Amino acid sequence: MSYQAPLKDMLFAMQELAGLGTVTALPGMEDYDLDTAQAVLEESAKFCQDVVAPLNWEGDKNPSSWKDGVVTTTPGFKEAYAQFAEGGWQGVIHPTEFGGQGFPKLVATPCAEMLHAASLSFALCPMLTDGAIEALLVAGSDELKDKFAAKLISGEWTGTMNLTEPQAGSDLAAVRTRAEPQPDGTYKVFGTKIFITYGEHDMTENIVHLVLARVPGAPEGVKGISLFVCPKFLVNDDGSLGARNDAWCVSIEHKLGIKASPTAVLQFGDHGGAVGYLVGEENRGLEYMFIMMNAARFAVGMQGIAVADRAYQKAVGFARDRLQSRDLAGSDGPVAIIHHPDVKRMLLTMRAHVEGARALAYVAAGISDVAHHATDAAERAQSQAVYEYLVPVVKGFSTDMSIEMASLGVQVHGGMGFIEETGAAQHYRDARILTIYEGTTAIQANDIVGRKTLRDKGAVALALCARIAMTEQDLAAHNDADCTAMREALSQGRAALEESIAFIVAHGKSDPKVVYAGAVNYLKLAGVVLCGWQMARAMMLAQDQMARDPAFFEAKLITARFYADSVLPQAAALAQSIHQAGVSTNRMSVDLF
């Protein structure tokens, strides 16, 4: 089954759950109303469905290749990227002063989801470019912005983030790449960077590498890291390309999934030093890189939602067509497997998780828009704090979920799912990287425990719980069987989350190893409950608007009820493990493994 962008659900989540009207009432956002947003999403859907999606399987069969330092991308990628750039899609969210479209994050997010669903491998290139643009706009000098930002936003050039090294992994304190200052104000960069997505390719004439490195005399650890722009080709004062920089791709990785995306090993400075331009101030590189990282983490969460939805759509298509066994209620012959209860259970599990995660991510995007554009400083600060709490949930929960849902997609296909020609296995393989890059699930979990819960003694998390409690009151006012079931399940989930927040705050400093042993389950608990909150809101809206679109809203209501019955009950078990499992985890000494 070919990919079909779920426009109706996207628009519902944008307008009804994430508050598009509130966002477009913000200063500078007035031109991006529902009609405009719908038109943008429809054009994005056409491009993703017609141009990018057909390349997804091709990229899996014919990955990017490396020879003598040159990377050739999958046939069709270069042409599709040219159309992507020509359509202005790279600049959707970026400022108009540098040639972007200036759309709210809430409108750009569904466009990104569609692109990722069409082809994860293709979408990784613009995703990393978005992060490079954001870091430059926030921390770069006017000179750097003038030299690089417009070409990145137009899609004429692409961007990368160069963090880790062979000896470092996720521990950036171990970065050894060095940058030596030069008399002309530039630096010479020397070192090796690994796992660089689209670090080399043939789709654009220049690649702008953002590189973490140490200057002479820098403090040890993460406090001594600086950030540099090292373009593949140097840029002349008139904007034309100059000499080739001393930054070379020495190999690309052979991977389980996302095979069409070239994951490069880059070598800087083997021929005299790569010219680098300092971003911001020395020794503040990690701070600047986290601008890229946070943008990328939210985007990776959207990748999880996207691949889960693509796997769901494929599973539904197969289940409608595959005839096998008689209906349990009786039939003359075999029926399509979509009639069988367990297949419906698997499909509903996939659908409920995708819709819940999508709604939460869109709500987070809307909150980010308020944080950036509201006139009241207190409202901006409060919204930013909520958004920052939600980012590790969107990233960690949605990517974990994507692996499970893609696996269910294989299961729906049965034996044919294990065979590559059906394409179901590709989604499973592609999804597997999502819990690893841009910070593993454990890193996201440590973040939500340490920076987002302990630091403010659970204030933001408990404020979200208070909002969930208000939704429970609304459910009680509806007073029907579906809303009653949802209210009971959501209330128990919220209580489990509140108890876990209290446990973390009480023991985070006195017994950190016990608390952090349960960090991933705390992140998952937050995801289960917060997505359930959005499903509860969707349930009530579906009831209220049923007459407007009976088929869509009946499916929405039933999916929400399934979430209440089958997903939210996991919250109590997760909370129990958070409170108890850390003791046995830490009791096990390393020599007993």
Active site residues: 438
Q: CA-to-CA distance for 176 and 168, rounded, in angstroms?
A: 9
Name the token pair of 65. Answer: 């290749």
Contact (CB, 8 A) for 289 and 228: no
> How far is residue 469's CA from residue 36's CA, in Å, rounded to a whole number?
34
**What is the number of alpha carbons within 13 Å of residue 67 lying toward its C-beta?**
4
CA distance 349 to 402: 12
User: Residue 277 carries which side chain, given as an amino acid letter?
Assistant: Y
Contacts for 324 with CB less than 8 Å, ≥ 6 apart: 334, 335, 337
Burial class (CB in 10 A: 0-12, 13-18, 19+), 58: middle
Write the Ramachandran bin of 335: left for phi over 0, alpha for psi from -120 to 50, otherwise beta: beta
Instruction: Tell me if 362 sits within 8 A of 17, measured CB to CB.
Output: yes
Tally DSSP H helices, then E strands, for the chain.
Answer: 20, 12
> CB atoms < 10 A from the CB of 68, how many?
5
Q: Which residues contact 503 (CB under 8 A, 6 or more apart)?
A: 515, 578, 579
Which of 237, 278, 280, 209 shows the shortest CA–CA distance to 146? 237
3-state secondary structure of 252: strand
Length of the chain, in residues:
593
